[in-house]
Amino acid sequence: MDTNSINIEYIDVNDALSRVGGNMSLYKRLLGRLVDGNLYDELLTALQNGDVEESTRQAHSLKGVSANLSLVKVNGLSVELEKLVKEGSDYSSCLDELKQAYETTLEQIAILLNQ
């Protein structure tokens, strides 16, 4: 697959492939696990329950997974959200942005998985 022809705004495919030794099949399997998982939903549940410790842990998990998969926008917003939750600051705007970025990233993952 020619990764230069992939127009993916929120995913750095070349960086991700460098992490998995250029193995697109492996990368797709890892992306599939993210899609099938519920990291984002667990984060939302923790935030809705007002559980700061669990919210911080879930934001940290999403931050790590998104970094490893080179999901650039989700990663940056997860970093910011984790910080805001830890500080007890208003995170509503960041969470709105993260929701949009996560949904867009899932759409872009679907494109990758179907190539």
| pLDDT, tens only, 67-104 | 999 999 999 999 999 999 999 999 999 999 999 999 99
Task: Kindly report the pTM of this predicted structure.
Answer: 0.89
CA–chain centroid gap for 5, Å, is: 22
Q: Residues near 94 by Cβ (< 8 Å), separated by ≥ 6?
A: 77, 80, 81, 84
Q: Tell me, what's the pLDDT at 6?
A: 53
Classify 69 as helix, strand or coil: coil
| 95-108 confidence digits (pLDDT tens) | 999 999 999 999 99
Which amino acid is present at 79? V
**pLDDT at position 114 over 60:** yes
Q: Does domain 3-113 fall into CATH 3.40.50?
A: no
In the chain, % helix, strand, coil (3-state, to 5) comes to 75, 0, 20
Q: Is residue 5 very low, low, confident or very high in pLDDT (cuts 50, 70, 90)? A: very low
Q: Tell me, what's the pLDDT at 1?
A: 47
| 8-33 confidence digits (pLDDT tens) | 889 999 999 999 999 999 999 999 99
